[in-house]
Structure 1
């Protein structure tokens, strides 16, 4: 493959090669022909008003319900990774508040397809303002809207077309429902023009072990069938690659797979310093998949799905059964649970705190729990019951903690529920800077580097154009992490990382050098992180951390660290 700095080369057939630069978000390399995903379906320009708004509203609801039914049908035949995603997306299509919004636009003189599009735009703006989990569902929401518009117009639904040859899927962006249902035997890689490092496409591709590149300029203009080679680490994409380079890429992939297979068991540096390697999960199926892998437990169990799938606050009994099914596969291994990380918006109508100017900076996470403590108390009661029933090592942490007083409030409620270990997410710079005091009130801390980068750099994590600012290698972000690690040492409390940065094997070395004691990631990323740690002593990790901290920018930090490790290892990572 030509290098990232080369503009072109030549293939054996004489076709000029071209190298483009995107952002690598899922490890690995692949080469194959392009399969372009159909563009979203848009409403007709100047669509006529519905002659019978009531009948048109019924038509729209019927379209949404057909979309939901199709997604449910896919879920029945999907694997565990895809099932929850498909079911959650089907729930969006069934959302009555979305149906009411469409009816409102129909009543104001819009056509049915236009009314669906306008309603989707309104809900997307609300989700983006709320931030966090909800902002990450905007792609799902727009996918549902596009499918509903296709239904009312009687045209083919958007999405990945049928294909039989192993290929690389290219799109503007992929809805999680599309990504999760890709045939892994045929999809060699994923390339999108949009997206970001923490988008659902990136996270799901990593979970599925599919190399992926996002933010590739003019990706959707690459003709179907064009041979390309992608590198999910460097983010390079080569059109018409040289066959010899593709063969070298394949041999490198085989060497890497062999090296990863040689290292097993608990994570540790070369001199035996332990670094627990854990999995991030979001539901029962995720838990069952992760528990079968060589991981030491769960570092982040996102519980939002329990609440988002309920029309009313789920009961203690309902939650207990779900948590029991999540905990059971892990036996005596730890499971770190993040309590409800949501805010005031339509998806949680039973916890609506009213309109806010900026919900992403408002009463979300622990702040919502403080306003509605009965939701937290019910969740803690259910977690305690499930822990007792399974004998699991359950540790509970709160999101969006900013002060020591908040940490104490949470720890007291955890203790009252009979749970033995309370922790906090450190994703607000204030908590990182005051980590000694904040962690002094609890048993452990976990750095949520996705949100920490967002708040440190004042850059929306869903804004793909700001991916450079959200790079976890940003020295300012590393400074904040270093401050949190220093505070954790002073407090004598363990500190982990559960953001996606934990799955970067080079950055894992830096995080270990800064004082992080556990790393939680998509389980598919664990082997590479384990290999990187096993090849470096703790002192070497500390030296690599120093190099990253003095760098001027993220690229310099990354390349300086890469240059400082053994070349034969660097090419495998």
Structure 2
């Protein structure tokens, strides 16, 4: 039997399955016989214990996983949730039930908000389970143990579990829920674990079922024949050899260069990105400096962080995205007003235009950091200096672009561009290129807005697919406008980490690709199999398809035929 889902990366795995234990049972809603004060004291101990455990797991995991787990730790002791718990205890709820209802209520609120906040809803469920387990004195549901390697099957996987997976034992992941930008997908990609998310029928996979997991094809083959296992094993060995090959610049088979850059959230990931072959940074997210703060960071504190990143990439390019926050990632000092539809609200450049001092300080800090790293000298050779490019998120039109670019240059930024995440930016791409030095396409949001499918809202997760011809046509419009203007067009969304889709993007006119560093080897290998003419033909086939699945299938088929030919 063949099951289908959304593949994460191009990896394969052959092993028997093991299922995650079922979640703890929902607490009963019986009246409490204990004093509320005593129950609150117990809960506070459990909250602190779970928060500390999540911090410890994050410190052990490092990288992107640490950021995720640190955020979960804050959830465990969020004052709003604690206050809600206390209120429920006062109304006669048991400790278990009060925790369950408080976290469930907050989870439902995040789902209604959509966007980034909806993606965090599953994290709250995990925190709630861990607190209730601590209250009951039982182990929290977690990854099963096995003496032999296995493929883990779960309804969904919590960040705390994904972050510390034993990669000697867990050789692949299959989940019923999730999409390409879920935490399971992001962390699996960062750890190079073959994974398929959103697999219908995953709940029916019994323990001990031998399967072939093919992330590139997005398929799970159950009870495979010996020949299927042999082919998969050969491909696994081939991928291992490609990953071990000497690092080289990204390029097509005809020598057309396609720089492969890294998406990073802090300077801590710089060394690993370089070791994995990153030719620079295509997306440096600066939100880590602002989130979980009650006031905007000082210029000097920002300079310190930016300088560390820039020094790590001397001789290369670093593209920095200014603060991408707003109603769906509320900051008390920027905009925390409730909005009915925050995904369409005051976010990105819109929020920064309304709080110009924050943008001014950030641009000034970036210009200062660049000057310190390059020593205020204009006579440095390219290999002796870092190239700082700065871009604004959620730019809708040329007015947004002109505002940001002129403001950035006024404050000393030499190369200023914009992110194309709103469909309108593709429709007026020629006007945007009249003022912007470059455009970087954020395929996650571009897909969301093009298909009116809230990112990873479970009911529409199947529509959050950058292979959709409508999304690809918008990418093509941006690529053509960049070609006419003679300016770079990059992609920094998750689509760039899909090797075959990366080839299609290049065929549509994209000149650089930025991704999680662990994906670089697969993308480099896939690019090297195609000429520019072939990439353009694959792109033509993709945009002519009538759905994302048909676009993916058509390109996969043509690519295979070209390889045989």
Q: TM-score, normalised by structure 2?
A: 0.91
Greater shift, 424-433 or 313-322, is seen at: 313-322
Q: Does 1:235 align with 2:218?
A: yes
Equivalent residue runs for 1:255-334 within 5 Å: 255-259=238-242, 261-262=244-245, 264-334=247-317
Listed one character per residue, the Cα deviations across residues 406-457 of structure 1 (whole Å, up to 9, x for unaligned) are: 1122223322332222111101001111111123222111111111111111
Q: Which residue of 2 aligns with 1:397?
A: 391
Q: For 1:570 and 1:327, how far apart are their aligned partners in 2?
A: 44
Quick check: 1:81–1:285 contact (8 Å CA) kept in 2?
no
Choose which of 362, 372, 391 in structure 1 pairs with 2:345.
362
Post-superposition offset of 1:33: 2.5
Q: Does 1:499 align with 2:493?
A: yes
Listed one character per residue, the Cα deviations across residues 235-278 of structure 1 (whole Å, up to 9, x for unaligned) are: 22233333442232111221233345557422222333221111
Q: For 1:297 and 1:357, how far apart are their aligned partners in 2?
A: 39
Choose which of 438, 452, 470 in structure 2 pairs with 1:458.
452
Post-superposition offset of 1:314: 2.4
Q: Which residue of 2 aligns with 1:478?
A: 472
Listed one character per residue, the Cα deviations across residues 390-415 of structure 1 (whole Å, up to 9, x for unaligned) are: 34322111111112111122223322
Q: Which residue of 2 aligns with 1:172?
A: 155
Q: For 1:506 and 1:519, how far apart are their aligned partners in 2?
A: 12
Quick check: 1:300–1:335 contact (8 Å CA) kept in 2?
yes
Choose which of 101, 122, 128 in structure 2 pairs with 1:145.
128
Greater shift, 128-137 or 250-259, is seen at: 128-137
Three-state SS of the structure 2 residue aligned to 1:349 is: coil
55 and 380 in structure 1: CA distance in 2 versus 1, 3 angstrom threshold:
farther
Listed one character per residue, the Cα deviations across residues 491-540 of structure 1 (whole Å, up to 9, x for unaligned) are: 43211111111122222222111111111112222222222322322222
Post-superposition offset of 1:378: 2.4
Q: Which residue of 2 aligns with 1:434?
A: 428
Q: Which residue of 2 aligns with 1:111?
A: 94
Q: For 1:493 and 1:197, how far apart are their aligned partners in 2?
A: 29
102 and 569 in structure 1: CA distance in 2 versus 1, 3 angstrom threshold:
farther
Quick check: 2:111–2:457 contact (8 Å CA) kept in 1?
no
Post-superposition offset of 1:377: 2.2
Three-state SS of the structure 2 residue aligned to 1:146 is: helix
Q: For 1:318 and 1:105, how far apart are their aligned partners in 2?
A: 41
Three-state SS of the structure 2 residue aligned to 1:350 is: coil
Choose which of 360, 369, 379 in structure 1 pairs with 2:362.
379
Q: Does 1:533 align with 2:527?
A: yes
| Matched residue count | 554
Gaps of 5+ in 1: 1-17
128 and 422 in structure 1: CA distance in 2 versus 1, 3 angstrom threshold:
farther
Post-superposition offset of 1:27: 1.9
132 and 444 in structure 1: CA distance in 2 versus 1, 3 angstrom threshold:
farther
Greater shift, 398-407 or 40-49, is seen at: 40-49
Quick check: 1:324–1:386 contact (8 Å CA) kept in 2?
yes
Q: Which residue of 2 aligns with 1:563?
A: 557
Listed one character per residue, the Cα deviations across residues 319-359 of structure 1 (whole Å, up to 9, x for unaligned) are: 33233333332222111111222223686233334111111
Quick check: 1:215–1:464 contact (8 Å CA) kept in 2?
no
Q: For 1:307 and 1:113, how far apart are their aligned partners in 2?
A: 34
Post-superposition offset of 1:486: 2.5
Greater shift, 523-532 or 397-406, is seen at: 523-532
Equivalent residue runs for 1:117-136 within 5 Å: 117-136=100-119
Greater shift, 365-374 or 463-472, is seen at: 463-472
Listed one character per residue, the Cα deviations across residues 135-175 of structure 1 (whole Å, up to 9, x for unaligned) are: 33222222112211222232221221333421111111112
Quick check: 1:170–1:190 contact (8 Å CA) kept in 2?
yes
Post-superposition offset of 1:568: 7.8
164 and 366 in structure 1: CA distance in 2 versus 1, 3 angstrom threshold:
farther
Q: Which residue of 2 aligns with 1:13?
A: none
Three-state SS of the structure 1 residue aligned to 2:199 is: coil
Choose which of 142, 147, 166 in structure 2 pairs with 1:159.
142
Choose which of 252, 259, 279 in structure 1 pairs with 2:235.
252
Quick check: 2:497–2:515 contact (8 Å CA) kept in 1?
yes
Three-state SS of the structure 1 residue aligned to 2:173 is: strand
Quick check: 1:434–1:487 contact (8 Å CA) kept in 2?
no
Q: Which residue of 1 aligns with 2:442?
A: 448
Equivalent residue runs for 1:15-164 within 5 Å: 18-49=1-32, 51-164=34-147
Three-state SS of the structure 2 residue aligned to 1:308 is: coil
Q: For 1:503 and 1:365, how far apart are their aligned partners in 2?
A: 23
Listed one character per residue, the Cα deviations across residues 523-570 of structure 1 (whole Å, up to 9, x for unaligned) are: 222222222322322222222221212122223322322333354848
Q: Which residue of 2 aligns with 1:12?
A: none
Equivalent residue runs for 1:188-199 within 5 Å: 188-199=171-182
Q: For 2:86 and 2:334, how far apart are their aligned partners in 1?
A: 25
Quick check: 1:320–1:385 contact (8 Å CA) kept in 2?
yes
Q: For 1:197 and 1:417, how far apart are their aligned partners in 2?
A: 37
Q: Let me know the Cα RMSD of the aligned residues.
A: 2.4
Q: TM-score, normalised by structure 1?
A: 0.90
Q: For 1:114 and 1:317, how far apart are their aligned partners in 2?
A: 46
